[in-house]
Amino acid sequence: MRRLSVLGFTLLLAAGAHAQDSRPPIRFDNWLYYQKNVDDSARWQYRPRFLIPFNLDNGGVFTQRIDLPFYYLNKVGQDNPNGDWKSGIGDWFIEETYLSPEVSKNVKWSTSLRLVFPTGGNSPFGGNQYTAAPSLGLLYSMPEQKVTINPLLRYFYSYHATEDNAGKVRRLDIFPQASFGFGEGWTLQLWPENPIDYNYVTSKWFVDIDALLVKRLSKSMEFGFGGAYALKKDDPQFKYILNGRLTFYF
Closest to 95 measured CA to CA, from 26, 166, 220, 7: 7
| Partner residues linked to 113 by β-bridges | 96, 134
Sequence-separated (6 or more) residues with CB below 8 Å from residue 80: 73, 74, 86, 124
Contact 212, 192 (CB under 8 A): yes
CA angle 134, 139, 141 (to 5 degrees): 165
pLDDT at 152: 98
Contact 169, 131 (CB under 8 A): yes
How many Å apart are CA 94 and CA 68, to the nearest integer?
Answer: 9
Stated pTM of the model: 0.88
pLDDT at 20: 45
pLDDT at 162: 83
> What pLDDT tens digit does each residue of the chain (250 aa) get?
445 444 454 444 444 444 444 679 999 999 999 999 999 999 999 999 999 999 999 999 999 999 999 999 999 999 999 999 999 999 999 999 999 999 999 999 999 999 999 999 999 999 999 999 999 999 999 999 999 999 999 999 999 888 777 789 999 999 999 999 998 999 999 999 999 999 999 999 999 999 999 999 999 999 999 999 999 999 999 999 999 999 999 9
pLDDT at 171: 97
Q: What is the CATH number of the domain that holds 201?
A: 2.40.160.40
Number of domains in the chain: 1
Domain that residue 114 falls in: 2-249
